[in-house]
Structure formats: structure tokens, C-alpha cells
A and B are shown apart, each in its own frame.
Chain A
Amino acid sequence: MVMTPEVLTLSETPWLFTGVMLVKIAVAFVVTLLIVAYATYAERKTIGRMQTRMGPTMTGPKGLLQPIADGLKLFFKEDIIPAQSHWAAFILAPMMILAPAFISIAVIPFGGDLHFNYDGVLYAVPMQITDLNIGLLFIIAMAGLGVYGIVLAGLASNSKYALLGGIRSTAQMISYELAVGLSIVVIFMLSETLSLRGIVAAQQLPLWGLESVSYIPNWYIFCQPLAFGLFVIGSMAEINRTPFDLPEAETELVSGFCTEYSAMKYALFFMAEYANMITVSAVATTLFLGGWGGPFYGWINFLLKVFAFMFFFIWIRATFPRLRYDQLMFLGWKIMLPLALVNIVLTGIAILLW
């Protein structure tokens, strides 16, 4: 006899629900932190190999303990707060950058449902911390929050380089958020939902609903390649990765908005950068590459796609020089924004005609 799984709810089984939720949060958080730590290692190793170097080799076998050593070092360093800075904002800023980066993970589905028996009842647990029905809006909102941390860091440091970095990143993130936001509007139009779970489910169907090519899934990258390109470029700009790393352009602004930061606060900025990279990869995977769908078991697909994205970001960093400020603005407002709008209109027409 096949039992229909029950969905856990807070009203019917409050304790079980809370327990399961806490476990999910803990797992997601720890895994993300681990990926953040080892993303730095992977970046150094990958870029090292691309540049005919070795990368870290000394700390632990093949340098595997390097992220931990770095973390420990930064943790025990002297925490300098410049005398002329606004100390409250100075301390708050790194936290304000890191928190949104992690919160976005909450709405991303990692895999299909887990089923388990408890008290003779079969329960289904989605591998997603919470399925908000406005999941995508939530992610965009959180990405928007991240900019406050950078602006605050730039202002509170009371340093000219930090200020310039802060101003640059505000302008950059606001303009690219627009392009990124508009580029994913087409996804809502196709899936008719804002829930990420729903978007993933829609991508499990065969391509364009054609039964003849049922072996190709309906990933939105196939029907919206332009939106995908815009999203990836735009999110690279939003998370300040090369070639859009102007806010912290080392050779121009020393270190941009984090010039005056040291020790653990600097480490928080550093972690935020990589956490953002993971978030963006996860969102791109969910929106365009069918989330956890694929040949392997649920979350393995998801992780593989996320890692592929991160490798892509690292690869770009080893290849491209940095854009100039005015060129960046030009690209954002005059190329990406119109393209995203055109894409929306074309998609609308296509949906009407079908």
C-alpha cells in the first residue's frame, strides 16, 4: 500500500516541525559556511593553476587547511577601529553585508522531498528551509539590503578611498539590480509563480511542453538565453567580482570600502563576497538550470551546478581586466537595461501568440 505523505505543518505537529526546521537551518548554514571557506581555497588553487602557480600547498595535505588557518589568523589579529571613524556604523557594516548574503539561502530549494516515518505517519519534508510564495522577490530584496552595508562601511571609515569605493558600489549595485531584476521578470511570466519551488517544478517538464523531445528538460536557459546572460553578467557586477570589482579595485582605491577594516571584520567582508557568490550561483541554478533537477540524486545536481557557476566566476577573474567606472555605467544603463526590457516585451508577445 502506498501512503500519501503528509506535509509537516506548524499547527498539527508543532514540535516535529520546529525540530525539522532547526535541523534544516543548521545543515544549510554549516554547508554554506564550509563552501565559503573552501571557495577561497578553490579560487586560490584554480587561479594558481591557471597562472602557472601552485596555490596553497603548505598548510595541511595539499594546503587543505589553508582556509582554516586564514580564518584563525584573522580572528586573532588586532581589531583596529580608526579614531576618526563612526564606530557604531563601522562595526555594524560588515554584519549588514554578511547577513543578507546568508539569508537568501533560506528560500532556495536544494532537492526534492525527503520522506520519513514518524509515529506511523509518512511525512514529506521539502529540502528547502522555507518555500515563500514570493521567494524571488525576497532574494532581490536581500540583494538590495547588501548595498547598505557597503555604503555604511564607506561612510563610517572616514577615509577618502573607502568613500570612493562606497560611492562606486552604490551606483554600481543600484544600476545593475535594475538590469538583473528586469532580466528575471521573464521567468515569472513563463512559470507564472514567484515561488522558487514552483519555478523548479516548472522546469522539470519537457522542453516547451513538446513530448517528442521529452529527454530535454524545460530549463529556462534554453528558452531565455538572453535573460540568462544578462542575469549572470549583472549578478557578477552585483557581487563585485572581476571584471566589475571597481568598489574594491585594489590598484585604484587601495581596497575600496574595506580599506580601513582589519581582523575579523575584514574576514566578514571576505566571507560575504564568497557567500554572495554562492547565493548568486544558487539563484542562477534555480532560475535557469532547473534547480535540483538532473541526472543524479536531487541535491547532488544542485551542488554540481552551483560549483560549475563558481568555477566560471573564478575563471573570469583569471581572464579579464577591470572595466572603468563610466564604461560600467554605460554597460548597465544603455546596454543591459534596454536588452532586458526588449526581452520582456518579446517574451510577452510570444506568450500571447502561443
Chain B
Amino acid sequence: MAANTETMTINMGPQHPSTHGVLQLILELDGEIVVKATPHIGFLHRGIEKLSEHRTYHQTIPLTDRLDYLAPMSNNLGYVLAVEKLLGITDEIPERVQRIRVIMAELTRLKSHLVWLACHALDIGAMTVFLYCFRERECITDIYEKVSGARMTSNYFRVGGLAEDLPDGLEGDIRDFVESMPAHIEEYEGLLTGNKIWQKRTIGVGEISAEAAIDIGITGPALRASGVDWDLRRDNPYSGYEDYDFDVPVREGCDTFDRYKVRLDEMRQSTRIILQALDKLKPGPILADCPKVVLPAKQDVVNNIESLIHHFKIVTEGFKTEPGEIYQGVEAPKGELGFYLVADGSAYPFRMKIRPPSFVNLQGLPQMVEGKLLADVIAVIGTLDIVLGEIDR
């Protein structure tokens, strides 16, 4: 007699402890085996692209903080680079600005990867790593607070420069923190890498081949763990990344464990980049010399009539750009973050399309989990490192 079996549909999310926000997954289960996984997104849609069409270029910067809220400075960086490219002032950005941008972007990568590791480990059941990672992340949010006044939504970069120079003594703080970081990474590895249960839960889980990953558009550490040696910081350098000596970790395993190793190695490389940038950091201006575009320094506004006029015009009207369209991609912690800007000559972006890495990476989820166990879904969601603020925009 044939048994009458049917699959069970289970609704994972949008309220679920490990969907990293408001992701909804409709899972069709045969016992504990996933037959079909359908992601539903959009619960956090705030219409950032639509809003940006009604704001001046400067007013859009705070919106970008809210994309990937775990890596706000990377989003800031991608956006300001895009606007600078649109304006054609990429070459006029002062060296100090570029160095500070790199330092902050790499700190952001550390910050984002720390949250990723924390949540990934917690999802698989290793609670201690979660708290260890948040201990270090706290130091980075402290640095954030010192430079920008905010711990998460930094809004620190400006078109043509930075909002403020680094406060006194912060370089030393950053250096102390970054120098202590490799030891902390060893600590996480000590808890996880050699752990038999961790290996069993991650090796061979969520495999995706290089061809499939490129086809589905996966970028960033997830692609590099599938053996594709591609990093925008090295291959299409921006903000002076060509000056630094760093390796791009690549592994061939295509699975969750290798994605974990790649990200940990990336954290080590980030510390290298930050230390080099700190060494090369020299005093200098923090704003480009483009008075039509860049907000003048505050002391000039009160002392100098031209600066006052520029300040007034830029703040009230914004600055105008040439009509045209550009695409700027940066290597955000989660993959390629792209800004496609269409300008019509007014002070507002005519169209801003954000290419969020998490959105594209999430598309690979069904491929990676179908035919696997329910527990693997959790591991794969963790390893994809998604942030719903960025997916839903």
C-alpha cells in the first residue's frame, strides 16, 4: 500500500528569529527536506529611489545610510563617488579625504563582517561568538560616533569631501583598535574553525558553482568563495585603493565554510589596509576646491562673502549637474554596491537606481537550499549575509 504523503508548507518569517529582519520564506517541506523555497521581500520598502528624485544630491546622502544599515559608510561612499563621477570632479578629491574614506570604508567592512559572523554563528547555535563579535563592533561604533556623531546612520561623507575632519587623537584610537583586531579574529576562529560541529554544519552546505553564482549575479565574498578572483577595490580601484598593498582572499570550496573563511580573511586584509592608510594619512584639506558644488568650510562662511553666497545657494537650491548618466560600483562588505544615476541638468537626481548586493545575492537562496535540510536554510541565510534594509530599499 502506498502511503499518502504530502508536503508541508511552512511560513518562515517575516517574524522569525533568524531571517535577519523581515524576510519571508515560504518553504515547502517534505519531512525536514526543503522541496521549494520562495523568498518574499518588500516588507521594509521605503521608496528610497523615489524619495531621492525629490531631494537634492546632498539631501540624498542620509537616505543611503538606511540602505545597508550595518555598513552605512560604504553606502555613503558609493553614493558620493557616483555623484562626483557625474560632476566630473573625481580627480579633484584631496588626498586626505581619500585616505579617510578608505579608513572608514574598511572599518565599515569590519563592522559589517562582525555582525555577519555574530549572527551566522548564533543561527547555527554558537552563542558565545555572537557576543565576542559585538564587543569589537562596539569599538567601531564608538569610532563612528566620534567622527560623525551617530553610531549607525553616520552620514559622514559629502560630495567632494567629508563633513568634518577626524577629531584629535582619533587616529591613535583607530590604530589601537585595528592592531588588536587580528588577535580577536584568531579568537573567533579558535571557537569555530576547528570545531567539528561547526565544520559539519558548514562544509558542503549551500554550494553554488562559480558559473551559477555569476549567472545569478552573486558578488562579493560569496563569489570569491566560489573561486572567482574579483574584487572591485583591486580591479576597478576607486578612492585611491590602488595605493594599498592587500590580498584578495579567494577559495574554491563554494560552500558555507569557505564563505566564512573568505570573510574572516577579508577582515584581516581590512586591518592591513587601515594601518597602511593611517601611515599615509597627512594633514590637508578635507574638501575639494570646487566652490560651485562643495559646501565651504564653516569659518569661511562667516568670514567671506563669496563662501556665504555659495553656501546659501548650495543649501537652498542644491548644485546642478550636466545631463548624463553614470554607474559607479564599489566593493561594499556584501558585494558590489552600484549606483546608477541619471541626471537631467537639474539639482535633483532624475533617476537613481541602487544595485543592492543583498538583493541579488538573495536570489541564489532557492538554488542553494532546495533539496537540503531545514537547518541548512538557516545556515545559508546566514552565509549570504543579507540586510533587508538594502534589499527592500
- Our pick among B10, B123, B376 for the contact of A161 (Cβ within 8 Å) is B10
- Quick check: is B125 within 8 A (CB to CB) of the other chain? yes
* CB closest chain-A residue, reference B119: A251
Contact present for B125 and A322 (CB under 8 Å): yes
Would you give the shortest CB distance from B333 to chain A, in whole angstroms? 22
- Our pick among B11, B121, B195, B373 for the contact of A325 (Cβ within 8 Å) is B373
Q: Restricting to B79-125, which residues have a CB under 8 Å from any CB of A? A: 121-125
Contact present for A251 and B32 (CB under 8 Å): no
Interface majority SS (helix, strand, loop, mixed), chain A? helix
- Quick check: is A26 within 8 A (CB to CB) of the other chain? no
Q: Roughly how many angstroms separate A243 CA and B197 CA in the complex, as a whole number?
A: 8
Q: Restricting to A162-195, which residues have a CB under 8 Å from any CB of B? A: 164, 168
Q: Which of A46-54, A65-73, A113-121, A220-228 contacts B (4 or more CB under 8 A)?
A: A46-54
Q: Restricting to B10-58, which residues have a CB under 8 Å from any CB of A? A: 10-11, 16-18, 32
- Our pick among A160, A254, A325 for the contact of B16 (Cβ within 8 Å) is A254
Given A242-B125, A252-B374, A318-B128, do A323 and B197 touch, yes or no (CB 8 Å)? yes
Contact present for A52 and B132 (CB under 8 Å): yes
Would you give the shortest CB distance from A286 to chain B, in whole angstroms? 29
- Quick check: is B201 within 8 A (CB to CB) of the other chain? yes
Would you give the shortest CB distance from B266 to chain A, in whole angstroms? 22
Contact present for B378 and A321 (CB under 8 Å): no
Task: State the interface size on chain B (CB cutoff 8 A).
Answer: 30
* CB closest chain-B residue, reference A246: B375
The 0/1 profile, CB within 8 Å of A marked 1, for residues 149-191 of chain B is 0000000000000000000000000000000000000000001
Contact present for B128 and A319 (CB under 8 Å): yes
- Quick check: is B131 within 8 A (CB to CB) of the other chain? yes
- Quick check: is B214 within 8 A (CB to CB) of the other chain? no
Q: Restricting to A44-65, which residues have a CB under 8 Å from any CB of B? A: 47, 50-53
Given A51-B128, A52-B135, do A251 and B201 touch, yes or no (CB 8 Å)? no
Q: Roughly how many angstroms separate A273 CA and B50 CA in the complex, as a whole number?
A: 52
Task: State the interface size on chain A (CB cutoff 8 A).
Answer: 29
Would you give the shortest CB distance from B73 to chain A, in whole angstroms? 26
- Our pick among A50, A51, A161, A324 for the contact of B375 (Cβ within 8 Å) is A324
**A53 surroundings in chain B (CB, below 8 A):** 131
Q: Roughly how many angstroms separate A252 CA and B16 CA in the complex, as a whole number?
A: 8
Given A252-B18, A321-B198, do A160 and B8 touch, yes or no (CB 8 Å)? yes
Contact present for B131 and A52 (CB under 8 Å): yes
Q: Restricting to A301-341, which residues have a CB under 8 Å from any CB of B? A: 317-327
A-B pairs, top 4 by smallest CB distance, nearest first, are A322-B125, A251-B18, A51-B131, A321-B126
Instruction: Please name 28 pairs of A and B residues whose Cβ atoms are closer than 8 Å in the assembled complex, sorted by A.
Output: A51-B128, A51-B131, A164-B10, A168-B32, A242-B125, A243-B125, A245-B125, A246-B375, A249-B125, A249-B375, A251-B17, A251-B123, A251-B378, A252-B374, A252-B375, A317-B127, A318-B127, A320-B195, A321-B192, A321-B197, A322-B124, A322-B197, A323-B201, A324-B200, A324-B375, A325-B32, A325-B374, A325-B375
- Which A residues contact B (CB, under 8 angstroms)? 47, 50-53, 160-161, 164, 168, 242-243, 245-246, 249-252, 254, 317-327
- Which B residues contact A (CB, under 8 angstroms)? 8, 10-11, 16-18, 32, 121-128, 131-132, 135, 191-192, 195, 197-198, 200-201, 373-376, 378
* Other 5 A-B pairs with CB < 8 A, given A51-B131, A320-B126, A321-B197: A249-B125, A321-B201, A323-B197, A325-B32, A325-B373
